[in-house]
Amino acid sequence: MSLVLHLNGWPGTGKRTIAGIVAARLGARLLDNHVMLNPAEALFEREDPHHAALLDAVRHLTMAYAEKVSPGTPIIATDALGDDEADALLFNRYRTLAARRDGRLMSVVLDISWQENVRRLQGAERAGQRKLTRPGVLRDLRDRYRLLRPADVEAMCLDVSDLAAEDAASASWTGSALPDAARRLQPAPVHAAGCTMTRRRAMPAGSMTENAPCPKQASFWSATS
């Protein structure tokens, strides 16, 4: 059976770093959200309709080829999905991927304190990568939205505020370490340290990555890791 492990979290959480460690340990393929986002970002401004069209085309093509990865090879994906209908539909692509690979789908929500989130957000490694670096935009996101916690999927919420990337990677996969930070869940409300996944106002569809103020018509899908 092939594993599809989906890591979802705020910009600056460290999703890409954590996912890279997990992928190396499991011999997995890493599907970072920027793999799908970057071609559109490189060629078009956000308001250009070609941006959304190219992003959707790359998403579709990437997911189609992900189905062809060697059977039994895990796939680790990173995302920034919000708790709204549009992003729930995007997550359904991972349901489809796991089903077509006769695989196991697991969702890991990576939460983080505000102070640590800001510190990581402004890390030097994010400079020049078209990743979100402005705390004001992050504050707006965190005030307005909640991270997607999919229903009917094996799930875990992990507070990474005080965890090194290696420890977060271990907890993401084993679900057994650091019991105060992580809880392996059956489909049920998430109430782990710092992880409050209550439903709030739906986020409209679109995309967001850079340092512009949070657009009124924006989905959380392409918020950077």
The pLDDT score that the predictor gives to residue 76 is 96
Percent residues over pLDDT 90 in the chain: 55
Q: What is the pTM of this model?
A: 0.79
* More confident: 125 or 174: 125
179-191 pLDDT, tens digit per residue, is 333 333 333 333 3
CATH 3.40.50.300 given to domain 3-196 = yes
Measuring CA to CA, how many Å separate 66 from each of 31, 56, 97? Answer: 9, 15, 7
Residue 196 is predicted with a pLDDT of 42
pLDDT at position 1: 66
> Residue 17 has what pLDDT?
93
Query: 106 - beta bridge partners?
Result: 5, 154
pLDDT of 210 higher than 80: no
Compute how many other C-beta atoms are within 10 angstroms of the C-beta atom of residue 154: 16
Write down the pLDDT at residue 174.
67
Residue scoring higher pLDDT (193 or 140): 140
Q: pLDDT tens for residues 40-73? A: 989 999 889 999 999 999 999 999 999 999 999 9
CA distance 74 to 1: 9
Residue 74 has pLDDT above 50, yes or no: yes
CA distance 180 to 158: 9
In 47-173, where do the E strands start and end?
75-79, 104-111, 154-159
Over the stretch 5-23, which tens digit does the pLDDT of each residue have? 999 999 999 999 999 999 9
Q: What distances in angstroms separate CA 85 from CA 63, 146, 184, 222, one per listed residue? A: 20, 13, 25, 15
Other CB atoms closer than 10 Å to residue 65's CB: what's the count? 9
Is the pLDDT reported for residue 114 higher than 90? yes
Report the chain's terminal Cα–Cα distance, integer Å.
Answer: 28
> Which of 126-130, 150-154, 214-218 is the least confident region?
214-218
Q: What does the pLDDT read at residue 96? A: 96
